[in-house]
Amino acid sequence: MHDLYPLESLSVGLQHRQKERSLEVATKRTILRTRPFQPFFLAAKDLLNLAYPYFQQIERSREHYNRTKEIIPIQGNIWQLEKSLSVGSFLAKYAGLEAFANCIYDEFGQRKIEDIPGYYFDVFPTDLHKKLIKKDFKKWYLGTRVYFVITFCTDSVIPPKTVFDNLCLEWKKFEETIAIRHSFNHPRKEEIKMEITYAGYKQWLVNDENPNNFWPLTKVHKDHRALNYQAATDLNTVLDWVINKLRNAMPNKLNDNFMTQENMQLLD
């Protein structure tokens, strides 16, 4: 069964060659170019909103214990739901950023890597320019894609450093966020330091707040099971910084319509 689209969403992006064409003809002769970052960004927002009430309940229990030393039992599924929704939000946001960079390149790319001065790549490891020539843009490391995508797409070649300062703290947090994302797909042994204290029948207190348990810049816990609403919010904020930087570099093209509307074209 096909989805029903609002009329206004179908009309946006249609290039009419004849004004008298009927909607019936238009809907039969339309190419739909998807912008998959849109549902990813919406999913990230919705999942985080769903996680928030559970996060509040957990925090109230934590605050109550700190104040009274009395443990308020919380149903296990609430802990699980809060973490699952938070992790889902972060992963959706990250996937959305990847799709966003790819869509920018697909729709607005004007040149090949051979047309970009080699010294633009000097901020990265030696011989990166030669290595990237052999690879499709969409297979580049995400940080490299994000850093250079605007240079591929503007009317005149602009240095990528005019968009991103790869030495600033925000960029370093972005690189760490990429590493956090990779740690989900490429796990390695991590030593998590914790103290476990008996607190009564079937009750244990777990303290895993050791500074070594956290990523140094984003302050996100290295235990994937501990990625909660606050951590997902912080990581998504880093990704939003990247998205806004890209949009500000091409404000006329990466406008609200690009962010919310599909790309459609009417055929003869």
Both structure tokens of 21: 């064409």
Taking only the tens place, the pLDDT of each residue in 226-243 is 899 999 999 999 999 999
Phi/psi region, residue 13 (left: phi>0; alpha: psi -120 to 50; beta: rest), is: left
Q: What angle do CA 142, 184, 190 make, to 5 degrees?
A: 120
* Long-range CB contacts (within 8 A, 24+) of 157-164: 157/111, 157/115, 157/116, 157/117, 159/120, 160/120, 161/123, 162/249, 163/245, 163/246, 163/249, 164/245
Rounded Cα distance, 79 and 239, in Å:
25
The sign of the CA dihedral 60, 62, 68, 72 is positive
The predicted pLDDT at position 27 comes to 53
Per-residue pLDDT tens over the stretch 107-146:
999 998 888 888 887 777 666 767 787 789 999 999 999 9
Mean pLDDT of the chain: 83
Rounded percentage of the chain residues whose pLDDT exceeds 70: 78
C-alpha–C-alpha distance, residues 110 and 150, integer Å: 10
